[in-house]
Amino acid sequence: MSPIKSITANDIGGELLPIITRGLYKDPLDALREYIQNSIDAGSSEVHVTLSRDLIMIRDDGTGMNESTARNSVRLGISEKKHTHDIGFRGIGIYSSFELCSELEIYTKVIESSEGYLVRFNFDGMRTRLEQDEKRKKLGHKKKFYLEKLLKETVVTKVDEEHVITTHGTVVILNGIRPEFQKRIIDTAEVIEYLQNVIPLPFSERFSYSTIIDEKLRRNDYRSIKLKLTSPDHDDYIYKPYEDSIFEHGKGEKPKFFEVKRRNSVKKFGFCWVCHNDDRKALKQDEMRGILIKKFGFSIAGREYLETYFTRVVFNRRITGELIVQNRNLIPNAARSDFEHNEARAEFILALTDLVQEMTSWAENIQQRLKARELLADMAPVVSEINDKLLESSRDISALLSFNVQLRDFKKQLSTHQKMMHRYDGKLYAKTTKLVHKAEKTIHDLLTIKNRSTKGSNDLLVDILKSTKLKADENELEYANEEPKSLIELFDQKELLTSAPLRDAIVYIDQLLHHLLSKKRYQIELRNLIDTLEEE
> Distance between CA 414 and CA 53 in Å, rounded?
63
- At 369 the pLDDT is 83
CB contact set of 471 (below 8 Å; sequence gap of 6+): 384, 387, 388, 435
Are 165 and 107 within 8 A, CB to CB? yes
Question: With b meaning 16 or more CB within 10 Å and e meaning fewer, what string describes 44-69?
Answer: beebbbebeeeebbbbbbbbbbbbee
> Distance between CA 23 and CA 18 in Å, rounded?
8
- At 517 the pLDDT is 83
- At 75 the pLDDT is 77
- Closest to 247 in 3D by CA, of 213, 278, 212, 207: 278
- At 80 the pLDDT is 46
CA distances in angstroms from 187 to 173, 182, 190, 231, 299, listed in the order given: 19, 9, 6, 9, 21
- At 78 the pLDDT is 40
- At 104 the pLDDT is 96
- At 108 the pLDDT is 96
* pTM of the complete model: 0.68
- Closest to 410 in 3D by CA, of 430, 427, 432: 432
* Helix/strand/coil for 106: strand
- At 83 the pLDDT is 43
Question: With b meaning 16 or more CB within 10 Å and e meaning fewer, what string describes 280-309?
Answer: bbbbeeeebbbbbbbbbbbbbbebebbbeb
Splitting the chain (536 residues) into consecutive groups of 10 residues, what average pLDDT does each group show?
Answer: 53 72 85 92 94 96 92 66 42 86 96 91 92 84 80 92 92 96 94 90 93 88 89 95 93 92 90 93 91 87 90 91 93 86 94 94 88 84 85 81 87 84 80 87 78 51 51 45 70 68 80 81 75 59
- At 493 the pLDDT is 67
Are 91 and 77 within 8 A, CB to CB? yes
- At 89 the pLDDT is 37
Q: At what angle do helices 343-389 and 397-416 cross, to 10 degrees?
A: 150
* Enclosing H/E stretch for 435: helix 418-449
CB contact set of 419 (below 8 Å; sequence gap of 6+): none
Q: Where are the beta strands (DSSP E) in 307-401?
A: 319-325
